[in-house]
Amino acid sequence: MSSVASPTPFSPAAPKTPRPVLQLVDVCKLFDGFAAVDGISLDIDEGEFVTIVGPSGSGKTTLLRMLAGLESPSDGYITLRGELINDVPSNRRPTCLVFQSLALFPHMTVGDNIEFPLRVRKVAPDERRRRALELMAKVRLPEDYYAKNVMLCSGGEKQRVALARAFAYDPDVLFFDEPLSALDYKLKKLLEKELKDLHRESGKTFVYITHSLEEAMVMSDRIGVMRAGKLVQIGTPEQIYTAPADRFVAEFFGEVNVIPVRRSADGWLRRDGRPVAVAPGLAIAGDEASVVVRPEYMRFVTAEAGADNTISGTIFNEYSLGSRLQYQVRSRTGRTFLVEVPRAAAWKGDGEVTIGWDAASAIVVGG
């Protein structure tokens, strides 16, 4: 067990404290000896939007289930406003989970679905209806949907009903288990912005699980990256994108150019023996590492515009990304690099090209 002193038992009537609204201390979850979640410690502040991402099997859903009260930790502590909730069931926590499946009641109307938490609390019918209509307006559902069967709603409308019902619980913390994963791209983009707006307007604490890196980048105050049951990095979207903790995080968050390097007395060398100018990175153990450069930081080098680092090659392919173009460049040594430029800066030539990047645009990472 953790050496941290045990928090006080859960008591809904206990006064609020200035501690983080949610706190995880050395939390583990074992299944037949396998650590699905392995020693995670994390503080989530009041009103934050924190997103947990990671590949399948990384442990993020298991972590969410423990936070929501559907699983109990095998070790460590989870506290809500400083009070231990390890074994408190979900229906006794001031939290609410929006499932991927939404879990709406198919035989009920939109209004009845939203009012369900209020009915359980014995709220008077007139007040239930007033509150339901208020929440429908908040999630941009027309008032005349109140009497509509929820199964006649579109996918996006069902998402809004599920959100309104979650807010009807008036929880301290809302948990989301990939609620947008089944939607088409355009609707997903719309709801990403609406969720972020709802978070800002409500001031509630959101903890969100997703496979979508774009969702995480658009909506989150902070992003936690999980791998093999561990939290390998936690930071703002800017920190995660521009200063990844290791090669795994760098490659997980979008396309990157990875240049293997080895340590020398004067710095880092590429495999061809040429030195690499880099920005300060992590304290790398060992003599092998990688230089990571995002495609948008690469550019075509001309006599008029040089770069701190250069590589020669030929353009193999071109990809249209709307307002931007991406080029696949194959170097003389056979390695492939991606260069992304605004459409207005499209490369006009052919044959051999020189691409490059500045030291400030790349970092050295391990892994």
Give, for 61, the enclosing helix (H) or strand (E).
helix 60-68
- Say how far apart CA 279 and CA 245 lie, in whole Å: 14
Strand pairing category for 257-264 and 267-270? antiparallel
Q: Over 70: is that where the pLDDT of 246 sits?
A: yes
Burial class (CB in 10 A: 0-12, 13-18, 19+), 67: buried
Q: Over 90: is that where the pLDDT of 332 sits?
A: no
Question: Which CATH superfamily, name and number, covers 8-94+171-242?
Answer: P-loop containing nucleotide triphosphate hydrolases (3.40.50.300)
Half-sphere exposure of 237 (CA within 13 A, CB side): 13
Query: What are 88-131's pLDDT values in tens digits?
Result: 999 899 999 998 878 899 999 999 999 999 998 899 999 999 99
- Say how far apart CA 229 and CA 30 lie, in whole Å: 10
Please state whether the predicted TM-score (pTM) of the whole model is above 0.75: yes
Q: Is there a contact between 322 and 282 (Cβ–Cβ < 8 Å)? A: no
Q: Where are the domains of the chain?
A: 8-94+171-242, 255-365
- Pick 334 or 222 by higher pLDDT: 222
The CATH number assigned to the domain with range 255-365 reads 2.40.50.100
Average pLDDT value over all residues in the chain: 90
pLDDT bracket for residue 270 (50, 70, 90): confident
Q: Is there a contact between 248 and 367 (Cβ–Cβ < 8 Å)? A: yes
State the Cα angle at 113 between 180 and 52, rounded to 5°. Answer: 30
pLDDT score at 9: 57
Q: Is there a contact between 61 and 100 (Cβ–Cβ < 8 Å)? A: no
Three-class secondary structure of residue 108 per DSSP: coil
Dump the DSSP string for 255-292: --EEEEEEEETTEEEETTS-EE---------SSEEEEE
C-alpha distance from residue 202 to each of 125, 164, 194, 197 (Å) = 24, 12, 12, 8
